[in-house]
Amino acid sequence: GHHPLPNSNSWCRKKETQQFKLKQLDNKTHGQKLTLKPQSNTVRTVLKSSCVCFSLQFALPYLRQRQGNIINISSLVGSIGQKDAVPYVATKGAIISMTKAMAVDESKYHVRVNCISPGNVMTPLWEELAAQTADAAAAVKMGENAQLMGRMGTEAECGLAAMYLAADATYCTGMDLVLSGGAELNYGFKSQIKT
């Protein structure tokens, strides 16, 4: 059978980020030592909560034995950037790069490592953030209009992408599957210069 390890991390509210205490990662896996010391607490929080900790420390020996696969969850903004979100964008970009590096390292064990980078997906967090604006319906509509398909993705579509990578994409490793509804395509208003 297939033995996938889906790894996700998410944006945290400021209070939750401050409450998350970090220690230096020092994971040993098959004689290899991994130590990460990112400078930013936000960067450390997101990276530690993602696959670095769980896949290397706990799951890799099992996945190597079973020739399983790892599916990391990043974000479209890890590739294209986003205004006022440097720590978030940096960590999502790091996950994409880590996916590629792990794909190289784990190929000798026949472990596939891939990544999904969703764009706007309607989640409870998206709804909560929209509700905090002056016009929640307008905020949601703006989010929907950011995709060529004119709608946001769904959690179910993210699950289907993960199932594809886990079960059907047996010749794919090191891949970043962009699940964005075409948000990164076409020209749009991008100038940040105030006139």
Residue closest to 94 by CA, chosen among 163, 44, 59 = 44
Helices within the chain (DSSP H only) = 14-19, 41-49, 51-54, 60-66, 77-80, 86-106, 124-131, 136-145, 155-163
Q: Are 120 and 152 in contact (CB under 8 A)?
A: yes
Annotated active-site residue in 62, 88, 109, 164: 88
Q: Are 93 and 115 in contact (CB under 8 A)?
A: no
Exposed/middle/buried for residue 43 (C-beta within 10 Å: 0-12, 13-18, 19+): middle
d(CA 37, CA 57): 17
Catalytic residue flag (residue 171): no
Tell me which residues are annotated as active site.
88
